[in-house]
Amino acid sequence: MIALNSYAGYFNTTHQYKWLVNYLKTRVDRVRTPWLVVLFHDPIYNTNVGHWREGELFRRSIEPLLYEYGVDIVLTGHVHAYERTREVYDNKPNPCGFVHFTLGDGGNYEGAYVPWRDLSVGTDGAWSAFREASFGVAELKVMSDTDIQFAWHRHACQSTYSVNFGQDFSDSCVTIGDNSAQKMMLVDPTTISKPSKQQCPNRWKSSENLVHASVSSFQTPSLDGGMSGSKTTGGANSVELLPIVTVLLFLGCAVLAALLLAQLRKNQTSSSSISTKVVEMYDESVNPLAASTTASSKESVSIVMPVMVNGV
């Protein structure tokens, strides 16, 4: 899954565009991930009057890349309604293109977006498969390398008469002003089947300079076509060196902890000696008699001790 920003730079000189090019050239492996899904905010295929063609410049810049590398599904939001297209590319139905979903129908105080554009005018009707201006949820299940099951479930309609914050939860609800052909449908189930490699080789295309991401390399695609992050001599060597590096780090931490503990004990001993000396100085200054007595005691000890030792 690839996430893009509809409102960041998207022309071929921008960072986002260069990053996308390099990612598609190095990280798409159809053997490991046969389905390629891209998501961004602003829909590039939309038949609702709301936000109509706002993503047109983004589409013209990004869509050729998505088609070249066979993106299967595009997920978008922004429009407060639900719409599903057929496989599409360059505003025309194309079996080798992607299926585009508008899923901005999770609920919003602004209400559902109506009306819809007339599909009998222009070419929109050729690629728009299902649309409804209601609130709902969708589920996507990957069944195999060639099939995905998708279903959209309506859970409420927009209603000016409802006391539930403008939402009508009845099974027969209809959003006021919704002119979609299937507005009474409760769900939109569909199966997305990948065409054969012979029919659409782009839908099975892997990166020409494929680089598998590994935990030991911590490398990500850079803008210049290289890899950013720490460099390694190889995945196998990195794995073999990992236990050694871990042991060395542990031993280093143990030695450092021992040194810190020894220094701490030394500081505590010095502090204790200093405290004792300070107390003695305080006693001498406050009670000279006690100081004299203490001094005499010390002299007596120094005199008596040799006599006792000599046995006299």
Token pair in block for residue 110: 């602004």
Cα distances from 195 to residues 126, 163, 259, 262, in angstroms, run: 19, 47, 67, 71
DSSP 8-state code for residue 152: E
- 44 — phi, psi (to 5°)? -105, -5
Query: End-to-end CA distance of the chain, in Å?
Result: 99
Token pair in block for residue 90: 């360059």
Cα distances from 7 to residues 10, 29, 43, 221, 279, in angstroms, run: 8, 28, 12, 21, 73
- 187 — phi, psi (to 5°)? -140, 160
The answer to whether 53 and 78 have CB atoms below 8 angstroms apart is no
Residue given tokens 């990957």 in the structure block: 142
Instruction: For residue 31, give the 3-state DSSP assignment.
Output: coil
* Catalytically active residues, by annotation: 51
Q: Which of 55, 54, 39, 109 shows the shortest CA–CA distance to 80?
A: 109
Helix (H) / strand (E) element for 261: namely helix 235-286
User: Can you tell me the distance from the alpha carbon of 275 to that of 282, in angstroms, rounded to the nearest whole number?
Assistant: 11
